[in-house]
Amino acid sequence: MEQTQQRILVVEDERNIAAGLKLNFELEGYDVEVAGSARDAAALLAGSDHFALILLDVMLPDADGFQVCRRIRAAGDFTPVLMLTARDSTEDRVRGLEAGADDYITKPFELEELIARVRSMLRRRGWEQSSTAHVSHSLLRFGGAQVDFERGEVTVRGDAVSLTRLELDLLRYFADNPRKVCSRAELQAEVWKLDNYPNSRMVDNFILRLRKHFEEEPSSPKHFLVARGAGYKFVPDP
């Protein structure tokens, strides 16, 4: 396994928090850059540094974190984003995930939990990058969609669509388990690699995202179906 230091971008204007995060992640062996505003973050992301993960605060002086996340995704950048939401607000979490964030943690957070969450996100990514080398054929076709998991290229009825890493991970898990009823806990453990953070809304929101991407009528889905009380199932060919 490669031992190059993974670089994390911390986007947070509160200097004490930013400095604390920088120090602690550096102690964990990561390389850390801090941006104190949306503008600084955009400048760093446009530069030559490669970031393995972005920690993105919702409250910034010149934009909110949701806007920043949307811009990152709109630019075709699918670096994992972990949002720091200011309150334990469902609305904030949903907005963050809808903006393309991969996960969120609410302030105030326990540093240990944040570090564990970051590790888990990076491990999942590392696993995925090393495992794709062994996949020789990973093309999924269903309902007018074509998904090349190796290249992360997706078209839906002829149009190119950008999926985040986690959206692709979830779709891939479904593709590997067609027609199987998958519980939310199973999806969270297998796709997010999060066994101990009960958070079924996260799964629900990602299902909504897949429906928006792929279903002709997201409100009456044909492929990403709810299995009442039990979870979800993917039906490639209804």
User: Footprint of Ca ion on this chain (CB under 5 A)?
Assistant: 13-14, 57, 59
| 35 or 210: CB nearest Ca ion | 35
Rounded to the nearest whole angstrom, what is the least distance from the CB of residue 13 to Ca ion in the complex? Answer: 5
Name the residue with the smallest CB distance to Ca ion.
59
| 13 or 153: CB nearest Ca ion | 13
| 104 or 234: CB nearest Ca ion | 104
Rounded to the nearest whole angstrom, what is the least distance from the CB of residue 61 to Ca ion in the complex? Answer: 8
Rounded to the nearest whole angstrom, what is the least distance from the CB of residue 106 to Ca ion in the complex? Answer: 13
By CB neighbour count within 10 A (0-12 exposed, 13-18 middle, 19+ buried), where does 199 fall? middle
Q: Report DSSP state, residue 190.
A: H
Cβ neighbours around 209 below 10 Å, total:
21
Q: Are 187 and 170 in contact (CB under 8 A)?
A: yes
The encoded tokens of residue 188 equal 């969270």
Rounded to the nearest whole angstrom, what is the least distance from the CB of residue 74 to Ca ion in the complex? Answer: 22
Beta-ladder partners of 234: 224
| 67 or 177: CB nearest Ca ion | 67
The encoded tokens of residue 193 equal 């690699």
Beta-ladder partners of 31: 7
